[in-house]
Every structure is written in structure tokens, then in C-alpha cells.
Structure 1
Amino acid sequence: MAIRSLTIRVLLVSTIWAALALVVTGVTISTLYRRGSERGFQDLLRAQLYNVINSVTVNDKAALSGSPQLGDLRFSQPQTGWYWIVEPIGEFKTAPLVSTSLGSGTLPIVSVDEVPFDFRYERFYTTKDSFGNSVEVAETEVVLDIDGRTARFRVAGNRAVLEADVNAFDRNLAIALSIFGLGGLGMNALAILFGLRPLDGARRSLEKIRAGESERLDGEFPREIMPLTTEMNALIESNRRIVERARMQVGNLAHSLKTPIAVLLNEARVLETPHSEVIRMQAEAMQSQVQSYLNRARIAAQRETVLARTDVEPTLERLIRVMRRLHAERVFTLDVDPPVLILAMEQQDVEETVGNLLENAARFAVSEVRIVVRAAPDGVSGPDAARKHWATIAVEDDGPGLEPDEIAYALKRGRRLDESKPGTGLGLSIVSEIVSEYQGTLSLSRGSLGGLKADLVLPVAT
């Protein structure tokens, strides 16, 4: 799954790179140290080898003689893995000389074909002694006298000493690199977080704009993101001008049509011809249609902008106060949870939708009208899949309610189920049209109070 946080991406990539770099660095340093230690170990064995060579001669009885003193007690302690051996080869037949540390043990010889002599006529190889020690052997062959008597000289050192030294170095290196790596990763994380703080500032400024607390991106931003903030401010300003222009054009159109339609209605009322009622009805239909489409144009102009914001609780409280004055015999209750809930709608559209529902509920209620506002759970959504946050507004009364077939009839424009009550029959259809323009939904059912329940699903500002 893609990581959507820029901070986490940078931290993850830098952490992986730093970890890989530390591992590669540690392996490289350990390898170089091992090679250097092995060269030093071989140099030590070479020096001991030449000490043995300088200490051994051929005596008058044509036998090997000499007692090398290498200054290392390990050559005199048994089974230590540190030995020296001088063996006659070729026609030279005599007893070999062996360090006391080898005793009666043996030290296998690797064939020359497997490990040949170098240009110094020396060779180094690893083998195991008869006691199980892994040893590094330095070997050469030397002519001892003018008669051509030749001997093979070998000095062996226990590789456990070398491995212990290398392992101790690796442990110390791992500790040092771990401390350095953790400190470096911490400083790297702090540097990244500090470097990305301006983006958090830009995000907070955008949140203020969406919440209606600000009209532009404010603050000091680094040179790298200053063009972005400048373009965003220009886009917001352009969007605001478009909305204002649309509102002005809608208002101009409304004013230009309002007077002619009003004249037609007045003339139709005073005329006493058979056609006056037809003229009046058509003028009222024109007035209704013009108002409906003007509302749609206005809503479409500002629906997706950051300017359409309405605080639910105070808006509904104002509507409730008006309805209590108009219908003093009814009880109106309001329940909003959470209290701070902001709809992504114009205030006049919220007032018109909920106001129409309240008016219908108050007209048919016996004694009580209830409004319940809730943040919609995850399973409730509008038809617009791009939106993620919704709220539900339920308006119900304790009146007679409607049957399922009556609900479909009531939603049609101009339909009235009870002609004895005042009204035009346009309320529910207007609510449905406004709600649909905001990608919300309107549904009718029988409520818990026994009467009609109208459920609105409306977009919430985030």
C-alpha cells in the first residue's frame, strides 16, 4: 500500500539508506581489519620463522642442532597451537627438531601443488594439528651448508588468537556504529521534520480556509514552496471572484424577471375574463420555475468552493425560535451531536431546506416536533463517492404521518395531500432539489413519534 505521508516517505527512505550505509560500512571496515590482522599475523610468523632459521645449524655429526629462543612461552607450553618444526629433506637424513609445545603431536603438511611457494620461497596455509587447533603455518626451505644439506622450516600460530582479536574488534565496531547510527537517524529525523514544518504550516492554513476562518494562505514560507502558496492564493481569489460574479448575475436575473412576473400576476388577479385563472396559474408556475433554476445556478456556482460553510446549531436554533413564535401550541426540541458541526452548504440553503421541513411538521403535528442532528456513521454516505464526511438531520412530528404510496406522491412538485391546510405544495420538492444539488439525499418514513419523519443526508465541511 502506498505511503501517503511525505514525512514518513522521507524518513523511511533516509532510514533505510542510512541503515544500509552503516551495514556496508561495518562490513567493509571489518573486512579490511581482518585482512590487516591476517597480514600482521603472517608477518609475526615470518619473523618467528627467520628466528628459527638463524638458530639452527648442522653440527660436526651431520645432524641438526640448535635451540631457538622465540621469547614466547606458548612455544614451550603443550598443545597451545604455537609450534616450530625443522625437518631434514632430500638426502639429508637426521632427526628433526621440534618445539616442546608440539610434543608427540603432528602437524599435517599441505602439498606444494595446493599452496605453492611465492617469490620469496615462502608459503602460508591453514591446517589443523593433532589436538584440533586451527593453525596458520609459515613454511620455507633453506640450504644449511656447502654440502647442500636442506631442511624444511615451519612455524605455526593458533588462529584462535587472530579470530578472537577480530571478533573483539567487530563487537566494538558494531557498538560504535549502532550508537552513531541511532544518533545519526535521530538527527536525520529531526532535520527532516524541521525541514518539512513549512508544509505543515501550509496545511494548517488550508484547514483554516476550509473552516472559513481565513480567506488566503497566510504566513512566512520558504523560497521552495512560496510559488505554490502564491498560486494557491491566486486560485482562491479567482474562485472567489467567480462565485461573486455568479451571485451577482443570479441576483440581476432574479430582479430582471421578478417585476414582469409580478405584473402578470397582478393583471391576472384583476382580470375577470375566462382566461385570467390560466394566466395566473402559468405566471405562478413561471415564478416557481425561475426561482428553482436560479437556486440551482447559485448552488452549482458555490457548491464545491471553500466559501459554502454553515454552523448547524445556531442556524437551527434561529429557525426553532421563529417556529415557536408562529406555533406557540407546539413543542420544538433540538438535539445536535457533536455541537460543533459545520455543513458544506450556504446558510440560506440550510435554512430553506430545514425550514420547509419544519413548516410541514408544525402544520401537521399534534403537539411535538423534534430535530435530531448527528454526524453520519461510516456506513452512511451520499451518492457522491468522493465525499467522505456527512451529517444526518431528522425532522419528525407526532402527526398522522404518510403511507408509502403517499410519500412518493408528496415529493412531486405542487402535490398536496391535505387541501385544507395552507400551502403551495412546493416545499418537499424544493427541499429535494436543493439537497440533490449538494449531492445529498432526502427520504421520508414514519418516525418514532408516530408521524412523518424526514431524513436529510448533507455534506459536512472538513
Structure 2
Amino acid sequence: MKIRSLTARVLILATLWSALALVTIAVAISALYREGVERGFNNLLRAQLYNVVNSVSIGDGESLTGSPALGDLRFSQPETGWYWLVEPIGNYTAAPLASASLGVSNLATPDVAETPFDINYERFYEMKDEVGNLIRVVETEVVLDDQGRAARFRVTGNIEVVEEEIAFFASRLNLALAVVGIGSLILNGGAIVYGLRPVDRARRALERIRRGEAERLEGEFPREIMPLATEINALIESNRRIVERARMQVGNLAHSLKTPIAVLLNEARTLDKAHAGVVTTQAEAMQAQVATYLNRARIAAQRDSVLARTEAQPALERLVRVMRKLNAEVSFDLEVAPDLTFAMEQQDVEEVVGNLLENAARFARSKVVTRLSSVVREEDATEGRRRWVELIIEDDGPGLAPDQIGEALKRGRRLDESKPGTGLGLSIVKEISGEYQGSLGLSRSPLGGLRAQVILPAVSKETA
């Protein structure tokens, strides 16, 4: 799943990196500490071993004598896992010497082939004593006199001491790293939000342009963002020049064609009736086609302009107010969702709404209802890039049968010749909404008359 938020991306990456780094540090420090503690534990056992070696000798009658003083009460307390043991080796018999903590128990001796001595003639191994303590043993063999009589010396320590010390250190280390990690996360989040604040300012400036509240990106931006702001301002200026040039060319073309068509219509009046009808009909068709395609060209030039914006509420209120004055016998109801703005030129909005209101007022018996609300089209729902509004205008007139709807949308087609009009209103609405990539639909209204539904591009300030 793509993460669209730049802040979330940076924060997630920084958090993952920090977590990985802290875990690596915790593992490395714990491993190094364990190594150091075990090395110190082995050195302690070695020192106690040679203390025992220096305290034991062969006395009269080939007996082992000596009383090692190791200065650790654990060697005098039973079942602690801290023992020392001296056993005779060779052809002489003597009673072994052992610490008070070992009592009458004995320690198993592993085979030398499995656990050999090192170059210092020492060997370390682990085993369990008779009460279940996991102990580490350091062992050596020493010749005690000039007759070659030797003894095996062993000193043990309880590994639980090492594990407890390592666990205590690990808990404190993890707590410290957790505090550092949380603090780093907070600081990273604050730094990222602060660092990306200019991007948010640029976004808000673009929103103001999109809503028609500004014509260019304004404000001070960091050195990294300033080139982007400059290019956007240049693009907006270029777009403005294109729109103005297109409007000027449309106006020039309209003026250049207006006179020849007027001449043709005037000349047609001087011809005989048979020829005049043909010329007049064709000239009027030319006039209609020119108006249509000039209007399309004008809309196409401004359709994607970020400056083509019209506030919905005042525009619709103004048109409905005019219709109320012109049709005093008809009630006009208006419902407009708050904070909606058409992404259209005001002239096109008035053309669409005005034609629909005029058509509804012409056939309504007593009531016309106009509603404008925000809507999401299915084809744009996944991208979420475009905003649309739904304009519904319905009346309580006779309405249209399903087979008449298609005919009503044809240019110049009038289904009721008793009513005034040119038959161009609905076709103009269809063409303008189509040029803005919107749509027009006709159906039966719950009021009994015609229901016109138009989808038009818009900007919603609530979601901008």
C-alpha cells in the first residue's frame, strides 16, 4: 500500500531506522557485556583456584592438608553452587579436601578427550550439581612434591550469578534505549513537521489559487522549494496568457464572421421567396454553428485554467432572483450546500443555470425547485483528484415522456410549439456541460414535471 503523506513516509523510515539501530546497539552492547562478565567470572574462578592450590599441600602420612580462605561465605553455605574440591591423583591414597558447601557430595569429572586442557593446563566446563545448580568449573592438576604426587584442583561458581547480573544490566539498558528511542521519535517527528512546514505553506498557497483567492504563489519559501514556486508562478502566468490569447482570437473570429453572415441574411431578403428561404435557412444554420464552435473553443481554452472559478451561492441566488421577478406566478425554491465553488467561468454558469431555469419556468404550473450539492462520480472516486457538484432543477409542469427526452436535447427541436422559445436551451446546456467533462440528464420529477440533473466541475472549500 502506497503511503501518500510525505511526512508519514519520512517519519516511518526514521522510526524504522531508529528502531533497527537501537535493537542493533542493544544486541551488541548486551553481547559485549555478557562477554566481559563471563571473562570476569572466569578470572574470579581462576584466582580462587590458585588460592586453593597455594593453600593445599601433602602432610604427614601422604594426606592432603590445608585450609583455603577464599573470603566468600558462599563456599561455606550448602547447595550454593560455589565449591572447591581437591582430589589426589596417582598411586597414593588420601582423603580429598572439599569446601563446607560441597559437604559429602562429589562432582563428576568429564573425560579429558571431550574437554581438553588448554596451554595453561586449565580447562573450563559446565555441569549441574546434585541439587540442580548449573555451575561452571575451572580445573587444573598440580604436582605437590618432589615425589611426583599430584592432585586435581577444582573450583566452581554458580552461573545464575552471571545470568542475574546480565539480566539486570539488560533491563536497565533496554529501559534507557527505550527512553532514547521514544525521545528520538518525538524529536524526529517535530523536526520533520517543522522541516516540511514550507511544503504545507506551498500547498495552502496552491489551494488559494485553485479557489480563485489568489493569482500566484505568494510567501517566502526555502531555497529548495523556491525554484518550484517560481516554476508554478511561471506556469500560471503562461496559462493566463494562453487563455487571454484564446479569448482574443475567439472574439476576432466572431467579429470577422458576424458581418459576412449578416450580409448574407440581408441579401436573402432581396431575393425571390423560393431562393430567399434557402439562403436564409443556411445562413442561420451557419450563424448557429459559428456560435456553437466559438463557444466550445472559448470553454476549451479556459476549462483547465486554475483561475476559472465562480462562487455558487451568489451566482444562483442572482439568477433565481431574476426569474422570480419575471415569473411572479411561479414559486422558486433554492437549496445550495455551503462553501461550493464552480470550476467554471461565470458566463458559462449563468448560461447553464439560466437556460434550465427559463425552461422550467416556461412549463411550470406553480413551482420550480433548484438544488446544488457536492457529489463524487464513480470514475473519480478512486483518485480523489476532482470535485463535482450536482445541479438539479425540477418543476411541476407536464414533463416529458421517455421517448421525448432524446428529441428535447436536439438543437432547435421544440416539442411544444405553443410556448415561446428557440429550442436551443437544453442543447446549449448539454454542450457546455460536456465541454467541462460534465453531463446532463433528464427524467420525470417527483413534482410531476421535468427533472434536469447536471454534473459540473467544482471546488469544495470544505475538502480543499
Residue 155 of structure 2 corresponds to residue 141 of structure 1: no
Indicate conservation of the 8 Å contact 1:383/1:440, yes or no: no
After superposition, the C-alpha distances for 1:191-226 in whole angstroms (9 at most, x for unaligned) are 111111111111111111111111111111111122
Distance 2:382 2:410 in 1: 23
After superposition, the C-alpha distances for 1:90-124 in whole angstroms (9 at most, x for unaligned) are 22321111111101212122222222211211111
Indicate conservation of the 8 Å contact 1:411/1:429, yes or no: yes
Aligned partner of 2:287 in structure 1 is 287
Note the 1:52-131 alignment, pairs <5 A: 52-131=52-131
| Residue 290 of structure 1, CA deviation | 0.5
- Going from structure 1 to structure 2, the CA distance change for 1:322 and 1:266 (only over 3 Å counts) comes to farther
Indicate conservation of the 8 Å contact 2:124/2:137, yes or no: yes
Distance 2:234 2:293 in 1: 30
Matched residue type, 1:207: E
- Going from structure 1 to structure 2, the CA distance change for 1:193 and 1:309 (only over 3 Å counts) comes to same
Aligned partner of 2:402 in structure 1 is 404
Distance 2:110 2:206 in 1: 78
| Residue 356 of structure 1, CA deviation | 0.9
Distance 1:271 1:418 in 2: 32
| Residue 369 of structure 1, CA deviation | 1.6
Indicate conservation of the 8 Å contact 1:92/1:150, yes or no: no
After superposition, the C-alpha distances for 1:339-390 in whole angstroms (9 at most, x for unaligned) are 22111111111111111111111111122222111112x4666899886422
SS across alignment from 2:446: coil
Matched residue type, 2:305: T
| Residue 6 of structure 1, CA deviation | 0.9
Residue 442 of structure 2 corresponds to residue 444 of structure 1: yes
Aligned partner of 1:375 in structure 2 is 374
| Residue 237 of structure 1, CA deviation | 1.1
Indicate conservation of the 8 Å contact 1:134/1:158, yes or no: yes
Note the 1:219-238 alignment, pairs <5 A: 219-238=219-238
Indicate conservation of the 8 Å contact 2:212/2:307, yes or no: yes
Between 433-442 and 265-274, report the one with greater CA deviation. Answer: 265-274
Note the 1:237-256 alignment, pairs <5 A: 237-256=237-256
- Going from structure 1 to structure 2, the CA distance change for 1:30 and 1:380 (only over 3 Å counts) comes to closer
In structure 2, which of residues 433, 451, 454 is the aligned counterpart of residue 453 of structure 1?
Answer: 451
Aligned partner of 1:19 in structure 2 is 19
| Residue 278 of structure 1, CA deviation | 2.1
Note the 1:207-226 alignment, pairs <5 A: 207-226=207-226
The TM-score normalised by the length of structure 2 is 0.96
The TM-score normalised by the length of structure 1 is 0.96
Distance 2:416 2:81 in 1: 113
Matched residue type, 2:172: N
| Residue 457 of structure 1, CA deviation | 1.1
Indicate conservation of the 8 Å contact 1:381/1:457, yes or no: no
Between 201-210 and 360-369, report the one with greater CA deviation. Answer: 360-369
- Going from structure 1 to structure 2, the CA distance change for 1:128 and 1:385 (only over 3 Å counts) comes to closer
Matched residue type, 1:394: I
Distance 2:400 2:270 in 1: 38
Residue 350 of structure 2 corresponds to residue 347 of structure 1: no
Matched residue type, 1:247: R
In structure 2, which of residues 414, 418, 421 is the aligned counterpart of residue 420 of structure 1?
Answer: 418
| Residue 267 of structure 1, CA deviation | 3.5
| Residue 272 of structure 1, CA deviation | 5.1
Indicate conservation of the 8 Å contact 1:390/1:459, yes or no: yes
After superposition, the C-alpha distances for 1:402-444 in whole angstroms (9 at most, x for unaligned) are 1111111111111111112222111111111111111111111
Distance 2:223 2:260 in 1: 57
Distance 2:124 2:396 in 1: 104
Indicate conservation of the 8 Å contact 1:349/1:434, yes or no: yes
Note the 1:187-226 alignment, pairs <5 A: 187-226=187-226
Distance 2:54 2:379 in 1: 96
- Going from structure 1 to structure 2, the CA distance change for 1:180 and 1:238 (only over 3 Å counts) comes to same
SS across alignment from 1:136: strand
Distance 1:379 1:46 in 2: 82
Distance 1:158 1:88 in 2: 24
SS across alignment from 2:421: coil
SS across alignment from 2:61: coil
Question: Unaligned 5+ residue runs, structure 2?
Answer: none
Matched residue type, 2:166: V
Matched residue type, 2:101: S
In structure 2, which of residues 419, 429, 432 is the aligned counterpart of residue 431 of structure 1?
Answer: 429
Distance 1:170 1:121 in 2: 34
Aligned residue pairs total: 460
Question: Unaligned 5+ residue runs, structure 1?
Answer: none
Between 343-352 and 383-392, report the one with greater CA deviation. Answer: 383-392
Matched residue type, 2:299: I
Aligned partner of 2:267 in structure 1 is 267
Matched residue type, 2:25: T
- Going from structure 1 to structure 2, the CA distance change for 1:386 and 1:263 (only over 3 Å counts) comes to farther
| Residue 257 of structure 1, CA deviation | 1.3
Task: Tell me how large the CA RMSD over aligned residues is.
Answer: 1.8
Indicate conservation of the 8 Å contact 1:383/1:439, yes or no: no
Matched residue type, 1:23: V
Indicate conservation of the 8 Å contact 2:377/2:388, yes or no: no
SS across alignment from 1:46: helix
Matched residue type, 2:354: G
Between 452-461 and 150-159, report the one with greater CA deviation. Answer: 452-461
Distance 2:69 2:384 in 1: 89
| Residue 269 of structure 1, CA deviation | 4.1
Distance 1:353 1:176 in 2: 68
